[in-house]
């Protein structure tokens, strides 16, 4: 049901390829394709978001307006994060669409998977950014619906679901990243689908669910290798949580295996994933020959943070990793503000991530203790934030990368808040019973 808009869009593009082989105005034809597709995405929103229809509709049409502004109004005002990367993706996709042999290129600038994905879309349909950016809007609306569906299945309070749906729909980074030509929307969708099946494994102990979860994670890793860090959270739960018994079980053997996994992850980071044949397919040019210490120390761009911090050995890596993780979640911090844009970013983005991720940790007993799902999501997020925190020193880049796990963080916060409500209600109930006695 949820994939209907995507299936219809693919059918539209195939029909376009068959019946409209030549064209003079690709943007006109792309807009026609979008107008035909809109009723299908609205149908899906109505069927799957009965209590949040108005929120979803407004969010969808705002994204459409931003998409057209990004394409036609950039000379007046360019949307944040739209520019070099988005134009580069489009130009590469155009070249690939005219020479499909580049799909098997593994050596040159065309070796990366995202431009190839875009190139296929342009080959099928009109050579217009409208199609490429419209599909991003579909991706993000589906991610919102899936997150809402998970919250509903977890029987969370309707107020929590509505408030967080408003946040998912209207937070500026969600609006912008889903309206411009970047890969974040697609990766965010693949990761939340992976988490959906991960949760099914926790609840129902279906091995097939975990297999599907890992497959979606690997698919996301094709677009950015760093998301493989989430596998640490999955490994933690597979080793220590027993769904049949609904409890954690720690042994010396599983502890050793998990330590070996962490050690292996650090080893891969140190030598570079591109040097391992199996993982080389998932690398995307971010890895360098500097090794993990060089990456953890480097920074580029005007929004670089921790410029004076140098990491030269494992001890320094262990000591400074928590600091870099904190910066990844909260940057740009006040001491690094360069102007009004950084201030707005902090209050409308960084502080929200800090609240969603750090607040549940402020009261472990009420929000996390004894709940395998919240603990599993926490370890998943911790692995991602650790890897990206080590590798980044730039606030703008951190914004884009942490959006990849935005819906997972929202889900983590929603479940922990429900845990808190349940805990408080339980205490009140016990107190009432004692007073009655």
Residue found under tokens 């808009």: 5
* The last residue of a domain, from among 156, 182, 208: 182
Per-residue pLDDT, averaged over 367-386, amounts to 87
Per-residue pLDDT, averaged over 73-95, amounts to 89
Cβ 103 vs Cβ 119: under 8 Å: yes
Instruction: Based on the fold, state whether residues 280 and 343 are members of the same structural domain.
Output: yes
Cβ 307 vs Cβ 297: under 8 Å: no
Instruction: Based on the fold, state whether residues 124 and 236 are members of the same structural domain.
Output: no
Instruction: Based on the fold, state whether residues 246 and 177 are members of the same structural domain.
Output: no
With 90 as the cut, is the pLDDT of residue 282 above it? Answer: no
Per-residue pLDDT, averaged over 314-339, amounts to 87
With 50 as the cut, is the pLDDT of residue 290 above it? Answer: no
Pick the closest to residue 358 from 380, 382, 342 (CA basis): 382
Domain contains 158: yes
Q: Which residues contact 371 (CB under 8 A, 6 or more apart)?
A: 415, 416, 419
Per-residue pLDDT, averaged over 382-398, amounts to 87
Per-residue pLDDT, averaged over 77-98, amounts to 89
pLDDT of the residue at 288? 39
Per-residue pLDDT, averaged over 291-319, amounts to 65
Cβ 139 vs Cβ 188: under 8 Å: yes
Domain of residue 172 covers 1-182
With 80 as the cut, is the pLDDT of residue 321 above it? Answer: yes
Instruction: Based on the fold, state whether residues 244 and 320 are members of the same structural domain.
Output: yes
pLDDT band at 168 (very low <50, low <70, confident <90, very high): very high
pLDDT of the residue at 435? 65
* The last residue of a domain, from among 121, 153, 182: 182
pLDDT band at 208 (very low <50, low <70, confident <90, very high): very high
Cβ 55 vs Cβ 168: under 8 Å: no
Per-residue pLDDT, averaged over 392-396, amounts to 84
Residue found under tokens 């099928």: 124
Indicate the SS3 state at residue 129.
helix
Higher-confidence residue: 179 or 371?
Answer: 179
Cβ 149 vs Cβ 412: under 8 Å: no
Domain contains 201: no
> How many structural domains are present in the chain?
2
With 90 as the cut, is the pLDDT of residue 55 above it? Answer: yes
User: Would you say the pTM of this structure is higher than 0.75?
Assistant: yes
Tokens linked to 268: 């891969």
371-400 core/surface letters (b: 16 or more CB in 10 A; e: else)? bbbbbbbbbbbbbbbbbbbbbbbbbbbbbb
* The last residue of a domain, from among 122, 153, 182: 182
Q: Round to whole Å and give the CA distance between 268 and 262.
A: 10
With 60 as the cut, is the pLDDT of residue 11 above it? Answer: yes
Pick the closest to residue 56 from 177, 152, 137 (CA basis): 137
With 80 as the cut, is the pLDDT of residue 244 above it? Answer: yes
pLDDT band at 289 (very low <50, low <70, confident <90, very high): very low
pLDDT band at 217 (very low <50, low <70, confident <90, very high): very high
Domain contains 206: no
Instruction: Based on the fold, state whether residues 293 and 360 are members of the same structural domain.
Output: yes
Domain contains 220: no
User: If 0-12 CB within 10 Å is exposed, 13-18 middle and 19+ buried, where does residue 419 land?
Assistant: buried
pLDDT band at 301 (very low <50, low <70, confident <90, very high): low
Domain contains 218: no
- Name the percent of the chain in helix, strand, coil, to the closest 5: 75, 0, 20
Domain contains 63: yes
Instruction: Based on the fold, state whether residues 264 and 349 are members of the same structural domain.
Output: yes
């Amino acid at each position: 049901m949820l994939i209907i808009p995507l299936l219809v869009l693919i059918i539209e593009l195939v029909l376009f390829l068959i019946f409209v082989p030549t064209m003079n105005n690709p943007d006109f034809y792309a807009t026609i394709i979008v107008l035909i597709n809109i009723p299908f995405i609205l149908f899906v929103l109505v069927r799957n978001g009965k209590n949040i229809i108005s929120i979803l509709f407004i969010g969808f049409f705002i994204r459409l307006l931003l998409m057209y502004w990004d394409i036609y109004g950039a000379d007046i005002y360019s949307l944040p994060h739209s520019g070099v990367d988005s134009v580069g993706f489009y130009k590469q996709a155009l070249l690939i669409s005219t020479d499909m042999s580049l799909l098997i290129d593994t050596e040159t600038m065309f070796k990366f998977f995202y431009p190839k994905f875009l190139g296929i879309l342009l080959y099928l349909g009109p050579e217009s950014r409208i199609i490429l950016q419209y599909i991003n809007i579909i991706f993000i609306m589906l991610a919102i619906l899936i997150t809402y569906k998970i919250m509903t299945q977890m029987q969370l309070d309707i107020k929590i679901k509505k408030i967080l749906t408003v946040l998912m729909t209207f937070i500026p980074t969600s609006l912008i990243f889903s309206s411009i030509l970047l890969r974040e929307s697609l990766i965010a969708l693949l990761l939340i689908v992976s988490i959906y099946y991960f949760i099914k494994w926790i609840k129902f102990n279906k091995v097939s669910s975990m297999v599907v979860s890992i497959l979606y994670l690997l698919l996301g890793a094709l677009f950015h290798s760093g998301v493989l860090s989430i596998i640490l959270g999955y490994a933690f739960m597979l080793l220590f949580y027993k769904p049949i018994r609904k409890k954690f079980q720690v042994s010396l053997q599983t502890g050793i295996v998990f330590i070996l996994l962490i050690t292996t992850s650090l080893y891969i980071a140190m030598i570079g994933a591109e040097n391992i044949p199996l993982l080389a397919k998932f690398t995307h040019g971010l890895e360098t020959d500097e090794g993990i210490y060089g990456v953890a120390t480097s920074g580029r761009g005007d929004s670089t943070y921790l410029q004076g911090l140098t990491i030269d050995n494992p001890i320094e890596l262990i000591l400074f990793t928590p600091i870099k993780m904190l910066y990844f979640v909260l940057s740009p911090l006040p001491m690094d503000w360069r102007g009004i844009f950084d201030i707005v970013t902090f209050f409308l983005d960084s502080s929200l991530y800090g609240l969603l991720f750090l607040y549940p940790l402020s009261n472990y007993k009420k929000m996390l203790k004894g709940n395998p799902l919240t603990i599993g999501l926490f370890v998943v997020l911790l692995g991602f934030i650790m890897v990206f925190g080590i590798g980044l020193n730039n606030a703008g880049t951190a914004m884009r990368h942490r959006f990849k796990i935005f819906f997972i963080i929202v889900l983590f916060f929603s479940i922990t808040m429900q845990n808190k409500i349940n805990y408080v209600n339980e205490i009140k109930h016990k107190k009432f019973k004692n007073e009655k006695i």
